[in-house]
């Protein structure tokens, strides 16, 4: 009995310590990955002088006036193709001037916004300059009127195709840019914001500058691409804001989808091997194993629905390379392994049992 008891005790001890280490290490690794690899904030801060520190503040009148904007990314819906921003005016160099500043109209490119005034009207769409300002900035009321409203407003940008001419000249621009949910979770999108300011009384251009941004959307990696104001400023053109927003799935979402797809294939191949051994070569199999493919078919459908932001129904690239072929193979296995009961009982004693020892005897003969 001692020769049996000692190895058994050693194995139990090894099993206990291995399980303990796994129970401690696995959650720690997952938590660290979740904290370090989660989507980063939609963050940008202008490298130019901060509001109030501009060398031109209050020195040369409206000609060098600069209005500073802050953008909060509130939400991004890739299925609807929209990105919602909350804008606020954080400063105006007129605050530090000794003259009266007039109101400023802030215009956004209408065709890049979902709230295009031509969408629900009989007027044709056009590429003319906007005539209706998105926001009227009354600095006098902000300074002297205690009851003035907060200088905040909201816009909804539309997701558009990438502006790169290289991509647009490609024979298959969508497959090249992955701007479609068919390529989930490797799909990438672009939204754009173009805005400028004018003096409300003279229609003269006023410098408009993006000071900083913030925002965080679950499951998405969002990166602002802010074009320097110097690219647009000149003798007849003041500073304006032009931002491209790059949207793609976060690293954790991509890896989760890949791991789930690999799991689909591993489970499917295991079930297929069981079907080949049981039905094809007549090896004995337990009855509870034979009905497993039926339950796994429905489990796969539920597991696929856990992929964050996955398109409704089936049709993305992971469905074509993972879920759909696996469901086809599992359906064939389910029908075959359930149908075997029509002809025989796969668990009866007369059928030969495939064991590890039997496989071990096979390899020396092959080698």
Candidate from 47-51, 86-90, 182-186, 204-208 with smallest mean pLDDT: 47-51
Inter-residue contact 123 to 117 (CB < 8 Å): yes
Distance CA 209, CA 154 (A): 17
Query: Residue 20: pLDDT above 90?
Result: yes
Average pLDDT, integer, range 286-294: 78
Mean pLDDT, the chain, integer = 81
Average pLDDT, integer, range 169-177: 66
Average pLDDT, integer, range 303-328: 89
> What separation in angstroms does the CA of 252 have from each of 35, 117, 258?
10, 39, 10
Q: Which residue has the higher pLDDT, 261 or 123?
A: 261
Inter-residue contact 181 to 316 (CB < 8 Å): yes
Query: Residue 362: pLDDT above 50?
Result: yes
| SS3 of residue 287 by DSSP | helix
Confidence of residue 5 (pLDDT cuts 50, 70, 90): low
pTM of the model: 0.79
Average pLDDT, integer, range 222-227: 86
Confidence of residue 57 (pLDDT cuts 50, 70, 90): very low
Distance CA 209, CA 129 (A): 19
N- to C-terminal Cα distance for the chain?
38
* The pLDDT of residue 62: 62
Query: Residue 1: pLDDT above 60?
Result: no
Instruction: Give the domain ranges of the chain.
Output: 44-249, 254-366
Inter-residue contact 241 to 208 (CB < 8 Å): yes
Query: Residue 254: pLDDT above 70?
Result: yes
* Percent of the chain whose pLDDT exceeds 70: 80
């Amino acid at each position: 009995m001692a020769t049996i008891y000692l190895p058994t005790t050693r194995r139990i001890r090894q099993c206990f310590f291995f399980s303990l280490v796994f129970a401690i290490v696995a959650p720690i690794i997952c938590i660290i990955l979740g904290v370090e690899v989660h989507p980063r904030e939609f963050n940008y801060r202008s490298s130019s002088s901060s509001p109030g520190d501009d060398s031109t503040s209050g020195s040369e009148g409206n000609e060098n006036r600069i209005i500073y904007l802050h953008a909060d990314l509130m939400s991004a819906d890739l299925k609807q193709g929209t990105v919602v921003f909350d804008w606020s005016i954080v400063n105006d160099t007129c605050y530090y001037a000794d003259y009266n500043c007039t109101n400023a109209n802030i215009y956004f490119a209408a065709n890049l916004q979902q709230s295009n005034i031509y969408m629900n009207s009989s007027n044709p769409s056009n590429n003319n300059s906007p005539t209706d300002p998105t926001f009227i900035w009354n600095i006098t009321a902000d300074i002297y009127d205690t009851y003035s409203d907060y200088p905040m407003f909201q816009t909804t940008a539309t997701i558009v195709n990438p502006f790169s001419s290289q991509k647009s000249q490609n024979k298959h621009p969508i497959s090249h840019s992955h701007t479609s949910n068919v390529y989930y979770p490797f799909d990438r999108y672009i939204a754009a914001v173009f805005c400028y300011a004018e003096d409300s009384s003279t229609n003269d251009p006023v410098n408009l500058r993006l000071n900083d941004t913030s925002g965080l959307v679950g499951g998405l990696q969002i990166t602002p691409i802010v074009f320097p104001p110097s690219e647009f400023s000149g003798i007849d053109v003041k500073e304006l804001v032009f931002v491209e927003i790059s949207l793609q799935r976060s690293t954790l979402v991509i890896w989760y989808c890949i791991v789930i797809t690999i799991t689909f294939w591993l489970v499917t191949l295991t079930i297929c091997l069981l079907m080949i051994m049981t039905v094809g070569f007549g090896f004995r199999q337990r009855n509870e194993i034979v009905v497993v493919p039926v339950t796994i078919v429905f489990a796969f459908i539920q597991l696929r629905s856990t992929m964050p932001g996955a398109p409704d129904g089936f049709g993305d690239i992971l469905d074509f390379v993972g879920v759909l072929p696996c469901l086809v193979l599992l359906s064939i296995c389910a029908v075959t392994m359930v149908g075997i009961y029509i002809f025989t009982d796969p668990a009866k004693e007369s059928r030969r049992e495939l064991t590890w020892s039997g496989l071990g005897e096979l390899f020396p003969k092959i080698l």
